[in-house]
Chain A
Amino acid sequence: MKRKHRRLAILTACAVGVGSAAALAFSALSSDMVYYLSPSQIAAKHPSVRRTFRLGGLVEAGSLKHETVNGQPVAVFKVTDLKGDVTVTYKGILPDLFREGQGVVTMGHMRPNGTFLATEVLAKHDANYMPKDVEQALIASGKWHPSEGAPPPAATWDMLNPRSLAKPKPVGT
């Protein structure tokens, strides 16, 4: 066995060792590496009122209400993962991307009444990128509305002419 072959063998053995050690460590850690909990995880885990954690999910369509408490604006909305939902109360400025149907990550704690009091609301961006005229065309044609959540896959509208898309489909086709 040449020396360089021995070095290659040692290196391969080290790679297999370090790789499997890391894989084991991460599979053990994976449940603790979660950045936020979803509403159904909260329903299963019942986090304590004193524990501060992040709650993530979609802002449920039609659930956003702006209220005034002691003269201060308060946003109340439901965060859903389509399996469960949690009502969130937040006092402060919402990010630009915040809207119904949008993914959000909020930090705060549960209140005894089962609602979530948020101290921070961050908007999540999905993986979709779409020009404004396509959005307008999709809304005008009734194919999709922002409150429904993420836009339809790009492949379905990528090559369409926005003007032809905007025309409502004749009934019955």
Chain B
Amino acid sequence: MDSAQPILGAARGKRWNWHKLANPGQFLRVSARFLLPLSIAGVLITAVGLVWGLWFSPADWQQGQTVRIMYIHVPSAWLAMSGYAGLAVCSVISLVWRHPLADIAAAEISPVGASFTALCLASGSLWGRPTWGTWWVWDARLTSVLVLFFLYLGHIALINAFDDRERGARAGAILALVGVINLPIIKFSVTWWNTLHQPASISLFSAPKMYVGMLAPLFVSALGYTLLFAAIVVSRTRSGIMERRVRGLLQARAERAA
């Protein structure tokens, strides 16, 4: 039941390796050191990026001030997708190597990812109304991001739908991996099909289609969002591990008393 038990006899190898981090006890010790700096950096960099973007960057020639929604919308969209990629990595580790930490992390990523996806959908809707003339359209990009939101919600529901937590984690991992097919669909929806949503302004292989004075605050915001996402997930994972320990201790006590 309590899969967080192997913590105590943590292997103390001389060489640093990632398997050590996969041990929940070791994860608690290591993350205790970097969680606070990570959180502070996340809050500060996000604040700098958003203040820069929302007040000090130039308005768009066509959209005017409305373009500032971008500094909230685009980083949340990036994090919604990379959060899902993180969930998928945890799911592979959970299914193949059965690391208990991967189960805990997966369970803690999906509510955060769902929140960032909701922020992306809401800010996009608020942006669409003044620019396109509509709150919502069923084009390939908007619909596939809505599916991403439902995948996160489905993952949350599925891992909590079993009495046996390990079976719930396994079912959730399978759902998360099937849903990975949605990531390329979201990314390439705007190039494969005619959509109302415009194609990407920033890509790896061509020059950005955006003024540098807008690009810089966007990247700062995105960096801040990423650190913030990581800080929230690490902190939730820590409390997830401690929750399991407490549950294990309480159960052991109840069994002794019985």
Contact = CB atoms under 8 A, between A and B. Distances in A.
Contacts of A120: 134
B132 A124 contact: yes
B63 interface: yes
B61 A130 contact: yes
Interface stretch (A44-52, A65-73, A109-117, A131-139): A131-139
Contacts of B17: none
A4 B97 contact: yes
Contacts of B192: 26, 30, 33
Nearest to A92: B133
A7 interface: yes
A94 B133 CA distance: 8
A11 B177 contact: yes
Interface residues of A, number: 46
B214 to A, nearest CB: 5
B193 A34 contact: yes
Contacts of A33: 140, 192-193
A132 B196 contact: no
A161 interface: no
A43 interface: no
B154 interface: no
B36 interface: no
A35 B211 contact: no
B194 A125 contact: no
A56 B196 CA distance: 9
Interface of B: 58-63, 67, 70, 92, 95-98, 130-134, 137, 139-140, 177-178, 181, 185, 192-196, 198-201, 207-214
